[in-house]
Structure 1
Amino acid sequence: MATSLNLDIVSRDDGAFSLVAAGEIDMSNIEAFNEGLDAGIRESAGSGTTLTVDLGAVTYLDSTAITALFGKADRIDIVAHPHLMDVLAVSGLAEVVAIEPAPL
């Protein structure tokens, strides 16, 4: 059974796009997450901006999610739930992607 994950691509007021994720990201739903990333990156490329991946409502992510984010590192920025900040830093992702903590 797939873990609960909601994804939505949102156009922001500044013309940029965000992929807003809520729930958990793991190997049971990584395909949907990858599809969301790809769709968001296509939208962003059309507007000449970088996709913001909003993980502010993500409570858990596993190594498959981190690998997916690494694979798109040159085309994304990340806003992450404060509880995820250590995991993203330890993984090394914070060295290649701009990551900001989401407001609580």
Structure 2
Amino acid sequence: MSTALTLTTGSDPDGGRVLTAVGEIDMSNAAAFAAALDDAVRPDGDPLVVDLTAVEYLDSAGLAALFPHAERIALVASPLLEPLLSISGLADLTTVRSG
């Protein structure tokens, strides 16, 4: 059984791409999250903003989906996730903003 996760791709006011995740990201849905990242990230151009402010849980499978794109993404995270992104080392590889 898959954990509830909603993924939407849109644009910010400046026209940049934004992938918004709502729910929990774990091993049951990390493949869908990774596929959404693969589809939304553009190798040339502005970084994709990944909005994790409505993510209540992020496990190692979700983190593993983010690492390959670290150079082409910027994260917006809730205070709940910020320590995890820092401890994992992801915050050293990409921009993490509070959301």
Length-normalised TM-score, structure 1: 0.90
Give the Cα separation in 1 of the matches to 2:34 and 2:65: 7
Runs of at least 4 residues of structure 1 off by over 4 A?
Answer: none
Q: Aligned match of 1:85 in 71, 82, 87?
A: 82
Give the Cα separation in 2 of the matches to 1:77 and 1:19: 10
1:90 maps to a residue whose letter is I
Query: What are structure 2's unaligned runs of at least 5 residues?
Result: none
SS at match of 1:34: helix
Give the Cα separation in 2 of the matches to 1:34 and 1:68: 5
1:96 corresponds to 2:83? no
Length-normalised TM-score, structure 2: 0.95
Matched length: 99
Output one character per residue of 1:10-36: Cα deviation in whole Å (capped at 9) or x when no partner.
112201010000000001001110111
Q: Percent identity?
A: 47
Give the Cα separation in 2 of the matches to 1:11 and 1:23: 20
Output one character per residue of 1:61-90: Cα deviation in whole Å (capped at 9) or x when no partner.
000111111111011000011100111101
